[in-house]
Structure 1
C-alpha cells in the first residue's frame, strides 16, 4: 500500500474512457509577464518574455478533433536561462453554437495524473455539451508528469517489489526493510530524474499554467481542477489573482495543513468511505464481510489483512497478494461507489484463496500495465508531494509514535497509512513549500466543491479552503465517492455549468444530493 497523499479524480470518468485509473529556486517569486507579455522589472523577468510570446505548432492527435503541441517553460523560474522543460499540451476546439468563451484548462489530480490523457479520454468528449460548445478544452501534463519530461524512478520489476513491501512492520527487521525500500525509491528517482527533480513543485506548475494561458491567447485562466488539481488551481489564484478567471476546485485540498495532518485526515476519509461501503455490503446476501453489522464487517476485513500478512494469497502469477497489495486494492475501490460490486467480488475470491481480482484493483491504482510496466503516476506523486511540504516524519521512530493517532482515524487503514507517510523522509531534494493559508485576494469568485463522504479529500478540507479564499464559495455534494462534477448529480452539474458559462457562482453553502 502506498497512498501517500495521492489525490486524484474518481476512477469512473477515467475508466469510462479506457484509461487505467484510476531554498530551491522552483518556488521563487520571480515576476510574471502581464497578459500583454510585458514583464515587471525583476531579476529574470526579461528572459521570461520568450516563453510568454511563443507560438504553438498544433498537429492532429489522438481521436476525433484533438490537437497536440508543446509549450516551453523554464526549468527554473529564478534562472530562466538555465534550461527548458517541454510541456505536452492537447486541446479540442469549441464545437459551437454560441460565443466562444476562450480556453478551459482541466486537471484530474494526482499529483501525477495526466491531464492530456484525461482530456482525450474523458473531458474532451464527456464534459457537458454546452461547456464543450463554448470553450476550447485544454489539457496540460504538468512538468514531471506523463508526456512532460516525466519523473522516472524504479524499473517495472523493482516497482513490483516495492509495492509488495510490508507497510505494517511488526518488528525491527520489517521496519528496516520498509525504510530501505523508501530509500531505494528516492535514490532511483534522483539517479534517473535528477535534472527535473528539484523543479516539479506545484508553484512551478502553476507558473507554467500562466505561460500556457498567455500562449493560448486568454486574458484570464478558466480552469476545472479535481482533487490535487484544486491545490494547483488555488496556487495559481494565489500567484496570479488578477489573471484568475472562472475556477472550479472539485474535491478540495486544504493547503494550510502540514503533511502529517494531511495524511491523517485522508486516513479518516478512507475510513468514512469504507464504512459506507460496509454498510452497503452487509445489506447484500453475498457480502464477503458478513451480513451482521458494519463493526463485524470491519473486524472481518482486519482479520483478512492479518491473514494475508502472515500468508499471502495466491494470484496465479509471481506476485502473491500480501497485506500491502490487498489494502491498496481495497483503497482503490473507495474512490468511487460504482466500484463497490467489483470490490465485493474481489474480496470474495481473495477470501476463498484466489487473489487475482484484488491484485487487479491494486494494479489499477498503481497504473501497472499488463506487461509489467508502470506509468509514472507514483513517481511524479512522490516528487511533487515531497517538494510541496516538509516530510511528515523525521524517521521510523517518529512514524511509530504517530501510529495510534492514525489508527484512531481508521482502525482499518491507520497503521499502514501512518507508515506510508514516511516516504518523504528520505527524499533527496529538500522541500520548497510550506503549509499556509491561501486567500488569493483580488481573485473573482472561485467555486470550491466538496463531497461529504469523499475518501481522498475529506469534506472538511473543502470547507476550509472555501473559507480561506477571499472569494471562495462552497458547493456541497451529499454523497459518496471522490469529486462531484460529472458524476451524476444534476444539481452539482447545473451549478457548475452555470458558473462556467455565465460567470454566476452558486450561493455560498449550496447543497446538492
Structure 2
C-alpha cells in the first residue's frame, strides 16, 4: 500500500482507463488556426513578453491531429526541461482538446487536471471531462488537457517492472519487528533507485512549479489571455501554484477538493489519515444498516473493530485470490482505501469484504489494482511513479528514518485507528529519494488574482475539508464553496447545487457567495 498523498478525482480512482491517445504524435499536417481568446481576456496578458530564453516556447505552433477517440485532437508541446537553463534542452508534453460544440459564443479554452500527482489529464479529458462535464460548459469552451511532465504521455517517469511493482505493493507496511522494518525500508530504497536508474534525467524537473509554468506556455499557445482551469484534488495545488506565479493571468479557476500548501509532508499525511478515517466511519455507519454488511449490523465502532481484526488476520494469513498474488494486509488495505473515494463503490466494497472473509480475496484485489492502475496483463500505468517523483520534489520528506515513524505512530493511530499505522509507514517513501526537494510548505495568497473558487467536501477522504477552508482563507481572492457529503471532490458528482454554482462562475464569471453550502 502506498497511499502517500495520492490525490486524484473519484472519476479516476476506481476506473482502469485505457490509453486512448496512442495517436498523439506530431505530424506535418498544418496547424489549426488559433481562435480568438475570450472577450474577457486581457490582451496585454496574452502578449506580455516571456522571460529571456522562453520566447520560442511561448510562440510555438501546435500541430493538431485526431487521436484515439472521435472528436478529440492531440498535439505535442515543447517546454524547457530546466526553466533555469531554457536553452539547454526541452521536454515534450502531450496535449489534447475537444473543441467547443456550441451554441453560444466561444469563451476560450478550459484546461483540466484530475490530480494525482500522476493522473493522466489526457485520459481524464477523453474518458470523462470532454463528455461528462455539463453541456453548457462544453458548448462554450474548448476542453483542453496537458499531461504534466513525467506523467503518462509526457515523458513518463518509470521505476519498476510489472513484476517488481507487484512485489512492492505486497510488502508489509505495518512492520511488527526489525526484520519487517528492514524489508519495508529496503523496498522504498529499491523503488527510489529504480526511478533514478530509469528516469534520472527527468526526476529533478517534475515539480508542481514547473508543471504550472508549462500550463502558462499552453495558455499562451492556445491564444488565451488568461487561464480558465478546473483542477481536482492535487490539481488544486497545481492551480493555486499557477495563481501564485501568474496572478495577473488568472481568469476563472475552480479548485475542487483542495490541498493546503502551507502544511509539511508530515502534516499532510497525518491529516489525510484522519480524512480516510472520517470516510471509513461514514461507510461503516451505512454498512451496519445494510443486510449484507460483513462488518456486522450493530454499530460503526463495532464495524471498525472488525475491520482492524480482518487486517490483522490477513497480515498473519493471506487469503487466496485465484492467482499467484495473495491478499495480504497491504493489498487488502489498499482495496478498502480505493472504495473510500466514492460512496458509489460502497456496495462493491461490502461484497469484496464478505468474499475475502469467506476465503476469496479477488474482489479486494481488483479494487487495489484499480487504485494502482494495474492492467490485467500485469503492467502498471506510471501513476505511482509520477506520484512519488512529484511529491518528493515538492516537499522535504515527512520522516528522516524508520525510528521517526515509530515515534509518530501514536499521533497517526489517534488520527485513524483503522489506517493510522499503515499510513504513517507509507509516509517514509520520500526519505530515500535520490533528488532533493526543491519546494517547501508555504502559504499561497496570489494577491491581485481574479476571484478563485475553492470547493471542499465535508467527508472527503483524500483532501480533508479543513484544507479547503485553509486554502480559501489564504488566497487573496478565494471564495469557499462547500458540499456537505461523502466522497472525493464535488463538481460533476450529482449535486445540482454545486454544479450550478460552478457552471455560473465558468460561464458568466460570477463566483458563488463565499461560504455557500450545498
TM range (shorter): over 0.9
Relative to structure 1, the CA distance from residue 290 to residue 13 in structure 2 (aligned partners, 3 Å threshold; closer, same or farther) is closer
Deviates more, 1:45-54 or 1:410-419: 45-54
TM-score under structure 2 normalisation?
A: 0.94
**Which of 236, 261, 264 pairs up with 1:255?**
261
Shift of 1:81: 1.2
**Which of 35, 46, 55 pairs up with 1:35?**
46
Contact 1:11 / 1:335 at 8 angstroms: preserved in 2? no
**Which of 283, 286, 306 pairs up with 2:289?**
283
Structure 1: state its 5+ residue gaps.
21-32, 40-44
Shift of 1:19: 8.5
**Which of 403, 421, 440 pairs up with 1:397?**
403
Shift of 1:63: 1.6
Deviation track 1:429-487 (CA, whole Å, cap 9, x = no partner) reads 00000000000001000000000000000000000000000000000000000000000
Residue in 2 that maps onto 1:98: 104
Deviation track 1:83-120 (CA, whole Å, cap 9, x = no partner) reads 11101000011011111000000000000000000001
Aligned pairs for 1:468-479 within 5 A: 468-479=474-485
Contact 1:47 / 1:81 at 8 angstroms: preserved in 2? yes
Contact 1:12 / 1:338 at 8 angstroms: preserved in 2? no
Shift of 1:64: 2.4
Contact 2:2 / 2:169 at 8 angstroms: preserved in 1? yes
Residue 351 (structure 2) pairs with residue 345 (structure 1): yes
Residue 216 (structure 2) pairs with residue 210 (structure 1): yes
- Rounded Cα–Cα distance in structure 2 between residues aligned with 1:78 and 1:425: 26
- Rounded Cα–Cα distance in structure 2 between residues aligned with 1:341 and 1:401: 37
Contact 2:12 / 2:124 at 8 angstroms: preserved in 1? no
Relative to structure 1, the CA distance from residue 18 to residue 495 in structure 2 (aligned partners, 3 Å threshold; closer, same or farther) is farther
| 1:105 alignment partner, SS class | strand
Residue 53 (structure 2) pairs with residue 47 (structure 1): yes
Shift of 1:35: 2.2
TM-score under structure 1 normalisation?
A: 0.95
Shift of 1:12: 6.6
Residue in 2 that maps onto 1:24: none
Deviation track 1:14-55 (CA, whole Å, cap 9, x = no partner) reads 7497799xxxxxxxxxxxx9521523xxxxx33100000000
Shift of 1:62: 1.9
Contact 1:271 / 1:409 at 8 angstroms: preserved in 2? yes
**Which of 195, 200, 206 pairs up with 2:206?**
200
Aligned pairs for 1:176-187 within 5 A: 176-187=182-193
Aligned pairs for 1:89-128 within 5 A: 89-128=95-134
Aligned residues: 495
| 2:52 alignment partner, SS class | helix
- Rounded Cα–Cα distance in structure 2 between residues aligned with 1:468 and 1:443: 12
Deviation track 1:124-174 (CA, whole Å, cap 9, x = no partner) reads 011100000000000100000000000000110000000000000000000
- Rounded Cα–Cα distance in structure 2 between residues aligned with 1:455 and 1:481: 7
- Rounded Cα–Cα distance in structure 2 between residues aligned with 1:317 and 1:17: 22
- Rounded Cα–Cα distance in structure 1 between residues aligned with 2:342 and 2:456: 15
- Rounded Cα–Cα distance in structure 1 between residues aligned with 2:445 and 2:270: 24
Residue in 2 that maps onto 1:466: 472
Shift of 1:13: 8.6
Contact 2:13 / 2:338 at 8 angstroms: preserved in 1? no
- Rounded Cα–Cα distance in structure 1 between residues aligned with 2:56 and 2:136: 35
Contact 2:14 / 2:338 at 8 angstroms: preserved in 1? no
Contact 1:37 / 1:214 at 8 angstroms: preserved in 2? no
Relative to structure 1, the CA distance from residue 221 to residue 14 in structure 2 (aligned partners, 3 Å threshold; closer, same or farther) is farther
- Rounded Cα–Cα distance in structure 1 between residues aligned with 2:459 and 2:48: 43
- Rounded Cα–Cα distance in structure 1 between residues aligned with 2:83 and 2:19: 33
Residue 382 (structure 2) pairs with residue 376 (structure 1): yes
Relative to structure 1, the CA distance from residue 16 to residue 316 in structure 2 (aligned partners, 3 Å threshold; closer, same or farther) is closer
Deviation track 1:344-372 (CA, whole Å, cap 9, x = no partner) reads 00000000010001000000000000000
Deviation track 1:365-417 (CA, whole Å, cap 9, x = no partner) reads 00000000000000000000000000000000001111110000000000000
Aligned pairs for 1:335-484 within 5 A: 335-484=341-490
Residue 325 (structure 2) pairs with residue 297 (structure 1): no
- Rounded Cα–Cα distance in structure 2 between residues aligned with 1:394 and 1:358: 32
Residue in 2 that maps onto 1:230: 236
| 2:46 alignment partner, SS class | coil
Relative to structure 1, the CA distance from residue 16 to residue 134 in structure 2 (aligned partners, 3 Å threshold; closer, same or farther) is farther
Aligned pairs for 1:113-152 within 5 A: 113-152=119-158
| 1:80 alignment partner, SS class | coil
Structure 2: state its 5+ residue gaps.
21-43
